[in-house]
Amino acid sequence: MQPSQMPRRSLVLLMLTICSCAAMSAGRVAVAIRTRLAVPPGEARAAWLDYVWSRGGGLPLGTLLTDDAQERTLLPLLLRERLVPTTTDVEVPKLAYTVTDAGPVLGVDVVAGSHTGTVSFTPSDEDCTEMLWDVEFDCSDRTPLWEAVTQNSVGEVSANLEAFTAKPEVFSLTARLPSRPGDALDTWLQCLADGDLGVPMPPPIVTAQGDASWQGYERLVLPPGLRERVTCVERGDGPDAAARCEYQVVNPGWLRCYPVHSHLGAVDFAPSADGASTTMSWTVSVRPQRLARPVVRALTNAIVPAFARNLAGRLGDADGAAVKYSWS
């Protein structure tokens, strides 16, 4: 079961509407949502299975999967769903599922065995995909209510999936450091270990030491429980040779105060033409969660430049760092 990363309006809408609506009518619910995804159809299908089917698609619902991942139970609704076979089409992949048990809430009105859900992924321009998500089922009562709930929940998950598959946004920073590249890299890694990033933070907890090069080093920042891992450290021959470090946030999300779907940072240290300094080029590639772009940009704009200036200060010249940054 995976907890929600951010409160969503869908479950609130569902519960409030169920409690406040009187009986309306029997009928058939039919909802179709179209969404453009910025990945090819095969990747879109895989993303749907991973993010939507296995992890709940960003709704405030827990997801229990069977061992073969062919069935799931959504908590606390106790709604059970199963994937069903579909025709194989390489160009237009499809998925289908059905509700095997509507649970105590939806089961009051949803007719057993009537539910069908299909998701098709049609190629679009620029290696993108048009996802069409169709849901149909019969109701013994309150058909308009369940149509509104379905429209809202499927629309919410589709919009979340659009953000999950979006092209990464890239933050780029350059700074001048009064040091040789190898020494600058060593100091950068030491700043990370000390938690001395130029902004007030509690000392981090080291959860993995990594190898002699620092690759595999991991730290935990409490609060908010954010884990950062050094994934790659490259050094040339001698302290004047170019150097590089890569790292990532292992567990991003709203609860960790960094609401992105993915994060990858890379820091390059190159000798300057004058031979007396190093040019640091720092990029952060992220895919913000839906509605989180302003938060992510504000946090990145605050933390990374502060780290760069603090690093320059440790090396001896914070005022001459000439820090510049932008987004693309």
Q: How confident is the prediction along the chain (328 residues), in pLDDT tens digits per residue?
A: 444 444 445 544 545 444 444 445 889 999 999 999 999 999 999 999 999 999 999 998 899 999 999 999 999 999 999 999 988 777 899 999 999 999 998 889 999 999 999 999 999 988 999 999 999 999 999 999 999 999 999 999 999 999 999 999 999 999 999 999 999 999 999 998 887 666 677 788 999 999 999 999 999 988 788 899 999 999 988 778 999 999 999 999 998 889 999 999 999 999 987 777 999 999 999 999 999 999 999 999 999 999 999 999 999 888 888 999 999 9
User: Quick one: pLDDT at residue 4?
Assistant: 45
DSSP β-ladder status, 218-221 and 205-208: antiparallel
50: CB partners within 8 A, 6+ apart: none
- With H, G, I as helix, E, B as strand and everything else as coil, classify residue 105: helix
Cβ contact 237:260 at 8 Å = no
Domains of the chain (ranges; CATH) run: 9-164 (3.30.530.20), 169-327 (3.30.530.20)
pLDDT value, residue 9: 52
The residue to which tokens 């190093």 are assigned? 278
Phi–psi pair at 248, nearest 5 degrees = -150, 155
Assess contact for 277 and 178: CB atoms under 8 A. yes
CA–CA separation, 176 and 59 (whole Å): 44
Distance CA 314, CA 328 (A): 29
Q: How far is the CA of 93 from the CAs of 82, 127, 171, in angstroms?
A: 18, 14, 34
Distance from C-alpha of 91 to C-alpha of 88, rounded to nearest angstrom: 9
Token code pair at residue 305: 């430049």
Q: How does DSSP classify residue 176?
A: E
Nearest residue to 270 via CA among 314, 234, 231: 234
Other C-beta atoms lying within 10 Å of the C-beta of residue 171: 20
What confidence score (pLDDT) does residue 147 get? 95
Helix (H, G, I), strand (E, B) or coil at 42: helix
Q: In what order do the strands lie in the sheet with 62-65?
A: 27-37, 129-139, 116-123, 94-101, 79-84, 71-75, 62-65
Chain centre distance of CA 135: 26
Please answer whether residues 230 and 216 qualify as being in contact, where contact means their C-beta atoms are separated by less than 8 angstroms: yes
